[in-house]
Structure 1
Amino acid sequence: MTIIQDCLDALLHPSARYDALTRARHRAFMGPRLLGSLVALAAFPVYLAIRGAPTALEVAAFAWLVVPILLSYFLSRTGRYEGAHVLSSTALAGLVMMIAIATGGIESFATVWLVVIPLEAALSASRRVVTFASMLALACLLALIAMNYFGVLPPLDAGAAHGVFMAFGIASATLYAAGVAFGSEALARTGTSLLNVEEDRYRLLARNMCDVISRHRRNGAVQFISPAAEALLGVPASELQDHGLFDRVHVADRPAYLTALAAAALGNDGQSVEFRLRRDVARASQGEARHSADFIWVEMRCRPLEPASAAGTSAEPEVVAVMRDITERKHQEHALDLALTTAERADAAKTRFLATMSHELRTPLNAIIGFSEMMVQEDALSLDAARRKEYAQLINDSGQHLLSVVNSILDISKMESGNFEILPEPFAPREVLLNSSNLLALKARDNGIELVTRVPEDLPQITGDPRAFRQIVLNLVSNAVKFTERGGRVTISARVEGSRMVLRVMDNGVGIAQEDLKRIGDPFFQAGKTYQRRHEGTGLGLSIVKSLVALHRGEIDVQSKVEEGTTVTVMLPLTFVPGVDVSEAEPASDNIATLTPAPRPGKQDQGYRVKKSA
């Protein structure tokens, strides 16, 4: 059997070698015809030995046995399965008509074989071929009836031989029909087996592939969804049927989801859409299982379902879609966007730094150079001792300002690189506050500003870096004095709340606009456009404060309103115990603090609270 099957496979047309069902049908067509023709041709000599000299009809009938071999060759060379069945039906009808005409027409034993023609054509599984064979058999039957009616055929010899031939014709037709039935059943069994194999294969693919395959109506209702959806969304696929999947689409993404499906249903191939889907996640909490939900990003590619694929069950257009999880890609895109934003901000900071430093450094340097040149030419300018002392003091003040700018830049650089050292030790914050106030009292008095310090005498000691605390106070008070107009007031207060000390610096100065408040604390940033600023400075003061507070694991809260003033509240732990090495502290400009809205009930001003990131 294997040898015969191998021989038949060698004769198959290339188009039939890669489809199991088509291969089985071609073998079923060629096998019986080749075998039957070869057996009949081999029996022809035996028939001659028994029968003797054959008649012309017998010679023609045996010659006709070559036709099945030619039909098999036709199918082998062309692969046209339906065409081969049409030719086979035509050849069988011709053989039956030839024998029937020579042996009595409608009363011939061969006439019964006309029934076999449509039965044989049924093996083609083609309605067109069966219809053609049925019409051909009916036409042959009508032709024989007409020939008998008009007396065209020779008279029938109704002897004993006629009964024998009639019995032979019926028996042979019955056996052939039985063979056709067995062949049809074998083909059906083969088709069912192959269908089961393919179904198992596709079910295996659908179950194990990461992408989700689904079939939808135009309105988004799910007709079918592959088991991969359960792993993707954490729910059984049955819950996603009908509008179950649509209910999980993020509300903001539902229009895009439905638009893509509707466009695909109208015949637009290659529709692609990205949207968010709610996924159920099981989490363990205190020994109990609980479920929560989050959203993932998916990409869905959809195209119209072919009418033949839809099995003709509905005239409504349907869509087949493939979904895949792109959450990781979205995270990467978001990270790239953040990196781009950070790079742009860094570039803007560099530009802002150059613009600010060019002014902050040039102004004192011009003063130093100018007054020093004047002192060099004191004889020509006839400078007295008081004027020389005044110029020397201006040179010293300009140098101190330059040193302050350089120290601020060095401090912020150390913080950004994580090399700023925090050396905690117990100290009395009251003395630091009073001393810092005294240092800035002269500047406040010169600017016509009232500086008020309210520090309780029983303010306890705290553990922290006293140098950093002093810098926090000086920067905050200096900023408050700088941005308060003449006649204004700056108030410094401190108190203990629970395990934290709360330092508050409040002024009634120019205030900060809401759009600038979010960026307060960024290095080299000052509220208001550069050409509109009435107050000079590097914009590093509050950035240094923010970084020092964060390094102490404290919080800073900024409340402000334009032309009404600003209140900066710093909350530091009474006892700071470094949990990590200081070198691991987060840099000032790298999200060491996060700005979040801090609404205040009953107040109209807008504030932002700066908290150390976890």
Structure 2
Amino acid sequence: MIRDGLDALLHPSARFDALTRARHHAFIAPRLLASLTALAAFPIYLAVRGVPTALEAVICGLLIAPIWLSWFLSRTGRYGGAEDRYRLLAMSMSDVILCHHRNGAVQFISPAAEAMLGAPVAQLLGHGLFDRVHVADRPAYLTALSEAARGEACSVEFRVRRDIACGRERGQGNSVDFIWVEMRCKPLEPVAEAASPSQAGVVAVLRDVSERKNQEQALDLARNAAEKADASRTRFLATMSHELRTPLNAIIGFSEMIIQEDALMLDAARRKEYAQLINDSGQHLLSVVNGILDMSKMESGNFDITPEPFPPRDALLNCCNLLALKARDNAIDLVTRTPDNLPVMNGDPRAFRQIALNLVSNAIKFTERGGTVTVSAAVEGSRLVLRVADNGVGIAADDLKRIGDPFFQAGKTYERRHEGTGLGLSIVKSLVALHGGEMTMRSRIGEGTTVTVALPLTFTPPVAPSSNVTTVSPLRTAISDRILQVKRSA
């Protein structure tokens, strides 16, 4: 009776050839039976479970869809066309449909997995998919399957390995990367109807969410950059409020005392002392402004490096002599070790002196009384290596990572015992980079710090492209011009 019914559904072109009739029977019978069973069970499912979710509706649609394919084959007799449409139905979905055990073994996976993961479907069955899940995400993956097997619909995001074909014609094989996917899963049947919870099947939909993850990561990076910029601005304002107010207050206070010298009955010695304090405060203020301007020029690419031959030993000894008085006043032993045969190097002597002055001055500033600062230079290969070591207070490991950032100073602002804008090492770092060199630091709290700078003995500045145009805001230009006028008049 069933066979007669199937024969009645066959297209006339398929009834008279035994092989064709068998192929049509094999195609129509299982699909029609499965679809009719799903269609008959759907009202009962609605009565028991209520309105289906989106996932349940997709699964139900996939179960009922073969009726249309059976009808198409019955009406046209085009077996190849029916197969093509069935394959197209499965392939047209970008999401991957899976059915697997709670332990992760895949029983069925739709063909869309091949496009998503770059691997044949056969390699993903069993534990093939689990083997591709990132090791760190496997617990979450198995937990989601376990919860779904217990009757709890859930979703999870994890990374899965994807194979990318590269140069197969050259025999280079495949490259591998990981993509982010979202898996929404639920029990294939109510847990009460399953043989046991451990054997309960789970159906899932897998979707590639790499683009969304990349956007989230980009947002996190932008947020971190904004927070860092905000922290830098706050730190800059806190530092500048001290570094600018202190000398300005001294200039204003002592100048007012000189103005009122008749009332205060100041003698010539006292006036000279106040004038010297005003001059010192002005010089300090000018050095702060110079540091800010130099840093600004370096960041905008407008700082000019003019290489020329010069003896680095003489420049280094001159810098140490300038700071010898400061070291002596702080009871610090300043040791210089520079061999007499240091070769002449080609670079910017002004920038070299600034590097040396900033490094040695910093070492003296952060070394306690009775300490030692050692300055040494030597040739290693084609580079001149300058080392400035001290046995001072040292730098914490967390702060060491940020040393060289503009306006950053180790330790909290309210804990600082030394003046400074935090620009010294930033300027050194930028000047070393402009010279094609490298700067490294080693430090430990309570033991001291060693800064190593390696500069090429022969430096050739890169040729800037003619189309390189730097745009500077009018406000910034006006402020810089005004500061330069003050510097010239000082």
Distance 1:457 1:188 in 2: 96
Q: Distance in 2 between matches of 1:320 and 1:192?
A: 34
Q: Are residues 1:510 and 2:393 paired?
A: yes
Larger CA deviation: 430-439 vs 247-256: 430-439
Q: Assess if the C-alpha contact under 8 Å between 2:73 and 2:79 holds in 1.
A: no
Aligned residue in 2 for 1:278: 161
Q: Does residue 343 of structure 1 match 2:226?
A: yes
Matched, 1:569 2:452: yes
Q: Is the alpha carbon distance of 1:399 and 1:216 closer, same or farther for their aligned partners in structure 2, counting shifts above 3 Å?
A: same
What does residue 102 of structure 2 align with?
A: 218
Higher RCO (CA-CA < 8 Å; seq separation 6+): 2
Paired residues for 1:20-419 under 5 Å: 190=74, 200-207=84-91, 209-269=93-153, 271-283=154-166, 289-305=172-188, 316-419=199-302
Matching residue's letter, 1:385: A
Change (3 A) 1:122 1:544: closer
1-side partners of 2:199 and 2:411: how far apart? 61
Counterparts of 2:79 and 2:98, CA distance in 1: 21
Deviates more, 1:436-445 or 1:276-285: 276-285
Check the 8 A contact 1:304/1:319 in 2, yes or no.
yes
SS in 2 for 1:245: helix
Cα 1:258–1:533, aligned 2, differ >3 Å: closer, same or farther? same
Structure 2: distance between partners of 1:539 and 1:584: 34
Q: Which whole-Å deviations, capped at 9, do the CAs of 1:124-143 have from their partners, x for residues lacking one?
A: 99xxxxxxxxxxxxxxxxxx
Residue 541 in structure 1 maps to residue 424 in structure 2: yes
Alignment partner of 2:353 out of 470, 477, 486: 470
Residue segments in structure 1 that go unaligned for 5+ positions in a row = 1-116, 126-185, 588-614
Show the counterpart of 1:484: 367
- 1:383 counterpart letter in structure 2: L
Could you state the TM-score of these two structures normalised by the residue count of structure 2? 0.74
**Which residue identity does 2:142 align to in structure 1?**
L
**Aligned-partner Cα distance in 2 for 1:584–1:417:** 15
Distance in structure 1 (CA, Å) of the matches to 2:151 and 2:225:
44
Deviations 1:92-145 (A, max 9, x none): xxxxxxxxxxxxxxxxxxxxxxxxx999999999xxxxxxxxxxxxxxxxxxxx
State the distance in 1 between where 2:352 and 2:227 align: 32
Q: Does 1:496 align with 2:379?
A: yes
AA aligned opposite 1:231: A
Question: Against the structure 1 CA distance between its residues 235 and 576, is the aligned structure 2 distance closer, same or farther, given a 3 Å change threshold?
Answer: farther
TM normalised by structure 1 equals 0.60
1:560-609 deviation per Cα after TM superposition (whole angstroms, max 9, x unaligned): 11111000111222233344639999x9xxxxxxxxxxxxxxxxxxxxxx
Partner secondary structure for residue 270 of structure 2: helix
In 1: Cα distance, 2:75 partner to 2:148 partner = 33
CA distance in 1, matches of 2:215, 2:465: 30
1:40-89 CA distance string (max 9 Å, x none): xxxxxxxxxxxxxxxxxxxxxxxxxxxxxxxxxxxxxxxxxxxxxxxxxx
Cα 1:187–1:447 shift into 2, 3 Å: closer
Matched, 1:445 2:331: no
Distance 1:257 1:378, change over 3 A: same
Structure 2 alignment gaps of length 5 or more: 10-69, 471-490
Aligned to 2:41: none
Q: Give per-residue Cα distances to partners, 1:208-264, cap 9 Å, x unaligned.
A: 554333222211111122333333333322111100110111111011111222222
SS in 2 for 1:441: helix
Deviation (angstroms), 1:303: 3.1
Return the letter of the residue paired with 1:299: E
Q: Partner letter of residue 524 of structure 1?
A: F
The one-letter code matched in structure 1 to 2:392 is: G
CA distance in 1, matches of 2:244, 2:236: 11
- In structure 2, the residue corresponding to 1:261 is in which secondary structure? helix
Q: Compared with structure 1, are the counterparts of its residues 281 and 123 closer, same or farther at alpha carbon in structure 2 (3 Å cutoff)?
A: closer
Find the residue that maps to 1:263 and give its secondary structure: helix
Note the alpha carbon deviations across 1:522-570, whole angstroms, 9 max, x for none: 2222111122221121111112222222233322111111111000111
Alignment partner, residue 414 of structure 2: 531
Bigger-Rg structure (1/2): 1
* Aligned residue in 2 for 1:38: none
Work out whether 1:553 is the aligned partner of 2:440. Answer: no
Kept in 2: contact 1:421–1:583 (CA 8 A):
no
Q: CA offset at residue 191 of structure 1?
A: 8.7
Compute the RMSD of aligned alpha carbons. 3.6
